C-alpha cells in the first residue's frame, strides 16, 4: 500500500510541475493569439450561415444535452432530457411529467455523460441520439427530426450507469454498464461483505429499427467490479462489446488507495451475439425487479410511464465462450475501439504507457485457450498474447482516445493537460498539444464509428480557471476546438459549455438538417385534450377539477376571460397552439403557478396545472415574443371563494 501512496504522491507532484508548464505554454499562445494564424477565419461562421457540424455535448450534472454548432462553438439549443427545464416546461407539463418517472418515483434530475448517435453499417445515420443518466440509471433516446426526448428507460440492478450509452454498429443494441456494483437483488446486508457478493450488471437494450423503441433484452450479471466505460466492436469485431473495469480488488472503502492495488485490472470482452443467441433459444432467467419505461407518443405528445416488474438475467458462466477478461494496466478509464475494429485501447489512469490489445490475437488466444487463470470462473487471457502494442510514455493520466480517418489516434491526458496524437499500428507519438486545462474526453465527429470525419477534435476540459472573464467561484466548463487536418493539431477556438460535458457526439449537419421538423400538423394532433377549432373551446368542471380547453394564435388566447373558478380548484389548462408555421411557438404562464411556463410548438397541445389559492382576478400571458402584439397576448381568470355559486363562464372579444 505504501508504494501506491508514494506513486500517487509522485503523480500529484508531476501534475504540479506540468501545470506550471501549462502556464508558460499559455503565455506563448496568448502572445501569438489567433492573429499569428488564420484561426479566427477557420471558425468564423458568417451571420446567416450555418455550421458544418451539429455537436451534441452531454450536460453532465445538468442532466441535459447541449447542441452546439461546430466549428463556431455556438450554443444552438439546450435539449432537456433527464432534468426539468423551465425554459419550455419539460418535466413540468402534464404531458412530459411521466418521462421523469422511475421506480424511485418522480426524479427531475440526472447526471448525463455519454451521447452516441445511431448507426447503420457502422456509419452515423442521424436517426436518433442516445444518452445515459448516471445517478438514477436511465437511457434516453432523442429523435433527431424533432430534437425531442422520445423515450427513457430505467436500468434495474444498476447504479451509477456510467459505461453507457454506446451503440452497436447497426444500432441493434444500446448498452448500459453499471459503475457501482451492488447487491442483486437489493437487500439489507453489511457493506463489509461486498467482496464476492455484489454484482455488476451489463445491460443490453434492443432498439426497434422502425420506431426506435427500446426494450431490455438481457442483463449480464458480472462480478462485483466497477464497470467504467465501454465501446462496441466494429467491422471485424462487430458482435463484441468491451468494458473497462477498475476496483477488481472489490474494495468498499477509500478506493483512491484500495482500488489501485492490482497491477492490472481488466477489459471485459463480451460476445453479445453469442449471448443473444443463447437468450433467443430460451436461455437466461426471468428475475423480479422494478423499472420504469417512459414513452412519448409523438402523435399526441403525451408521455406514458409503465413499470415493468421482471428482467432477463444471464450468468456469464452459463454461456461458455462469451465473456473473457483482458488484463489492462492500472485502473483503466476509457475503453476505445479503432475504426477498423482491430484495436482495443485501455487507458490506464495510473499507468505510464497506453496498452493496445489486438482483437485478432484475442480470438486466437481464446481459440487456443491461452488463459492466465480466471476470475469468478471467467477466463483471463494472457496479457502478452493479446498485446498489439504499447504507446510509450505518452503523457500522464490518460483518459480517452478518439480516432480520425487517417489511422491516427488522439488520447487525452488529464494530469499533463494535453492531447497526444499517435499512429495506430506503429504506436509512435506524432504530436502533442496543451489544453486548458485537464481534459476529460475528446471528440472527433464520427469518432465512435467506422467512418470518422477527421477535420476537428474537440477537447472537453474539466478545469476552466482563467480562460474567460471570471464569473465568481462558479465557472462554465470549457471546450477547445482543434483543426486536425494537418500533421500538427492546431488550436482554433475556446468555447464555454453548459453543465459538464463528458463525452460528445457530432455529425455533419447535412445528414440531419433537412429532416428537421418545422411544426406539427394540426390534422395529425392526436392529443386527447386538443382544441382544434374555436367551436370546441370550452371549460368543464368535474367536482374541484376544472379543464380549460384553450387555443392560442397570434395574438390572443381563446378564451381570454374566465370566471367561475374557485379557491381550492385544480385547473388544467389544455392549450393548443393553432399556428401552422415555422418558429411561432406561444408560451403560457399564470401568476401563482407552482411549476413553470409551458412553451407550445405550432400544432401541439400542452397542459399546465394551476391551483389558485387566493380570491382575485389573476392574469395569464404569452411568454414568447411572438408578434408585434405579443404584449397584448394576455387574459384574466376570476377566482371566487371556495363556497361561491358563480357558474363557469368564458369568452373572448365580448364586452
Ligand atoms: S467520463 S472524463 Cu463520465 Cu466519460 Cu471520462
Ligand atoms: Cu404569443 Cu407572445
Q: Is the CB of 626 under 6 A from ligand 2?
A: yes
Residue found by looking up cell 436518433 in the block: 128
Report how far ligand 2's centroid is from the alpha carbon of 555 (Å): 6
| Per-residue pLDDT, 33 | 46
| Per-residue pLDDT, 36 | 56
| Per-residue pLDDT, 351 | 86
Q: What does the block give as the cell for 321?
A: 465462450
Residue found by looking up cell 436461455 in the block: 283
| Per-residue pLDDT, 330 | 87
- Name which of 532, 557, 537 is nearest 547 in CA terms: 537
How do beta strands 354-358 and 387-391 pair? antiparallel
Report how far ligand 2's centroid is from the alpha carbon of 620 (Å): 11
Low-confidence ranges of the chain (pLDDT < 50): 1-35
Q: Is the CB of 467 under 6 A from ligand 1?
A: no
Q: Would you list the DSSP string of 417-432?
A: TEEEEEETTT--EEEE
Q: Is the CB of 630 under 6 A from ligand 2?
A: yes
In ligand 2, which atom is closest to the CA atom of 552?
1
Q: Is the CB of 503 under 6 A from ligand 1?
A: yes
Q: Is the CB of 333 under 6 A from ligand 1?
A: yes
| Per-residue pLDDT, 20 | 39
Cα 453 to chain centroid distance, Å, stands at: 21
Report how far ligand 1's centroid is from the alpha carbon of 61 (Å): 12
pLDDT of 233-271, one tens digit each?
Answer: 999 999 999 999 999 999 999 998 898 888 899 999 999
| Per-residue pLDDT, 4 | 43
Report how far ligand 1's centroid is from the alpha carbon of 205 (Å): 21
- Name which of 115, 113, 83, 105 is nearest 96 in CA terms: 83
Report how far ligand 1's centroid is from the alpha carbon of 8 (Å): 20
Q: Report the C-alpha gap between 472 and 464 in whole angstroms.
A: 12
| Per-residue pLDDT, 220 | 98
Report how far ligand 1's centroid is from the alpha carbon of 229 (Å): 8
CB-CB contact of 226 with 260 (8 Å) = no
Ligand number nearest to the C-alpha of 503 = 1
Residue found by looking up cell 468564423 in the block: 44
Report how far ligand 1's centroid is from the alpha carbon of 403 (Å): 17
Q: Is the CB of 250 under 6 A from ligand 2?
A: no
| Per-residue pLDDT, 352 | 84
Residue minimizing CA distance to atom 2 of ligand 1: 440
pLDDT of 114-143, one tens digit each?
Answer: 999 999 999 999 999 999 999 999 999 999
Q: Is the CB of 238 under 6 A from ligand 1?
A: no
Q: What does the block give as the cell for 524?
A: 395529425
Ligand number nearest to the C-alpha of 552 = 2
Q: Is the CB of 502 under 6 A from ligand 1?
A: yes
- Name which of 63, 130, 146 is nearest 100 in CA terms: 63
Residue minimizing CA distance to atom 1 of ligand 2: 586
| Per-residue pLDDT, 561 | 98
Q: What does the block give as the cell for 617?
A: 382576478
Q: Is the CB of 114 under 6 A from ligand 1?
A: yes
How would you label 563-594 residue by residue, b for 16+ Cβ within 10 Å and e otherwise?
A: bbbbbebebbbbbbbbbeeeebbbbbbbeebe
Amino acid at each position: 500500500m505504501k508504494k501506491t501512496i508514494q506513486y500517487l504522491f509522485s503523480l500529484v507532484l508531476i501534475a504540479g510541475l506540468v501545470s506550471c508548464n501549462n502556464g508558460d505554454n499559455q503565455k506563448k499562445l496568448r502572445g501569438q493569439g489567433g492573429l499569428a494564424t488564420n484561426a479566427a477565419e477557420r471558425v468564423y461562421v458568417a451571420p446567416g450561415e450555418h455550421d458544418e457540424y451539429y455537436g451534441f455535448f452531454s450536460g453532465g450534472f445538468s442532466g441535459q444535452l447541449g447542441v452546439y454548432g461546430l466549428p463556431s462553438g455556438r450554443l444552438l439549443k439546450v435539449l432537456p432530457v433527464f432534468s426539468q427545464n423551465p425554459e419550455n416546461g419539460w418535466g413540468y407539463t402534464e404531458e412530459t411529467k411521466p418521462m421523469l418517472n422511475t421506480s424511485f418515483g418522480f426524479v427531475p434530475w440526472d447526471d448525463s455523460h455519454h451521447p452516441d448517435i445511431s448507426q447503420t453499417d457502422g456509419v452515423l445515420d442521424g436517426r436518433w441520439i442516445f444518452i445515459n443518466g448516471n445517478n438514477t440509471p436511465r437511457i434516453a433516446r432523442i429523435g433527431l427530426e424533432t430534437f425531442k426526448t422520445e423515450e427513457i428507460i430505467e436500468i434495474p440492478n444498476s447504479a451509477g450507469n456510467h459505461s453507457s450509452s454506446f451503440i452497436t454498429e447497426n444500432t441493434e443494441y444500446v448498452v448500459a454498464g453499471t459503475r457501482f456494483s451492488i447487491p442483486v437483488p437489493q437487500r439489507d446486508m453489511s457493506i463489509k461483505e461486498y467482496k464476492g457478493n455484489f454484482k455488476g450488471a451489463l445491460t443490453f437494450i434492443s432498439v426497434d429499427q422502425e420506431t426506435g423503441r427500446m426494450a431490455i433484452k438481457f442483463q449480464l450479471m458480472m462480478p462485483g467490479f466497477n464497470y467504467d466505460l465501454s465501446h462496441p466492436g466494429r467491422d471485424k469485431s462487430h458482435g463484441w462489446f468491451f468494458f473497462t473495469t477498475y476496483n477488481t480488488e472489490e474494495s468498499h472503502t477509500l478506493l483512491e488507495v484500495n482500488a489501485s492495488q492490482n497491477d492490472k485490472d481488466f477489459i471485459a470482452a463480451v460476445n453479445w451475439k453469442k449471448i443473444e443467441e443463447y437468450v433467443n433459444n430460451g436461455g437466461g432467467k426471468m428475475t423480479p425487479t422494478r423499472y420504469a419505461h417512459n414513452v412519448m407518443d409523438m402523435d399526441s405528445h403525451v408521455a406514458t410511464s409503465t413499470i415493468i416488474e421482471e428482467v432477463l438475467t444471464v450468468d456469464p458462466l452459463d454461456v461458455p465462450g462469451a465473456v473473457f477478461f483482458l488484463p489492462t494496466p492500472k485502473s483503466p478509464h476509457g475503453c476505445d475501439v479503432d475504426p477498423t475494429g482491430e484495436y482495443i485501447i485501455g487507458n490506464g489512469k495510473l499507468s505510464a504507457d497506453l496498452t493496445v490489445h489486438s482483437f485478432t490475437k484475442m480470438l486466437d488466444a481464446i481459440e487456443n485457450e491461452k488463459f492466465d487463470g480466471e476470475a469468478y470462473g471467467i477466463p483471463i487471457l494472457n496479457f502478452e498474447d493479446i498485446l498489439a502494442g504499447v504507446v510509450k510514455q505518452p503523457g500522464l493520466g490518460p483518459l480517452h482516445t478518439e480516432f480520425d480517418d487517417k489511422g491516427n489516434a488522439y488520447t487525452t491526458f488529464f494530469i499533463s493537460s494535453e492531447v497526444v496524437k499517435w499512429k495506430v499500428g506503429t504506436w509512435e507519438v506524432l504530436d502533442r498539444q496543451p489544453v486548458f486545462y485537464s481534459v476529460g474526453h475528446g471528440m472527433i465527429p464520427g469518432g465512435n464509428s467506422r467512418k470518422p470525419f477527421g477535420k476537428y477534435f474537440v477537447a472537453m476540459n474539466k478545469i476552466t480557471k482563467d480562460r474567460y472573464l471570471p464569473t465568481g467561484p462558479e465557472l462554465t466548463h470549457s471546450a477547445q476546438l482543434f483543426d486536425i487536418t494537418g500533421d500538427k493539431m492546431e488550436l482554433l477556438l475556446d468555447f464555454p459549455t453548459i453543465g459538464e460535458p463528458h463525452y460528445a457526439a457530432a455529425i455533419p449537419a447535412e445528414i440531419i438538417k433537412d429532416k428537421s421538423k418545422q411544426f406539427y400538423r394540426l390534422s395529425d394532433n392526436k392529443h386527447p385534450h386538443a382544441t382544434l377549432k374555436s367551436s370546441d373551446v370550452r371549460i368543464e368542471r368535474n367536482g374541484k377539477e376544472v379543464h380549460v380547453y384553450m387555443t392560442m394564435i397570434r395574438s390572443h388566447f381563446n378564451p381570454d376571460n374566465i370566471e367561475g373558478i374557485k379557491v381550492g380548484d385544480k385547473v388544467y389548462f389544455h392549450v393548443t397552439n393553432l399556428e401552422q408555421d415555422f418558429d411561432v411557438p406561444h408560451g403560457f404562464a399564470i401568476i401563482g403557478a407552482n411549476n413553470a411556463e409551458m412553451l407550445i410548438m405550432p400544432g401541439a397541445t400542452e397542459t399546465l396545472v394551476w391551483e389558485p389559492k387566493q380570491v382575485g382576478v389573476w392574469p395569464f400571458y404569452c411568454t414568447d415574443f411572438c408578434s408585434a402584439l405579443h404584449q397584448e397576448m394576455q387574459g384574466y381568470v376570476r377566482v371566487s371563494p371556495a363556497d361561491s355559486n358563480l357558474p363557469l363562464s368564458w369568452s373572448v372579444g365580448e364586452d
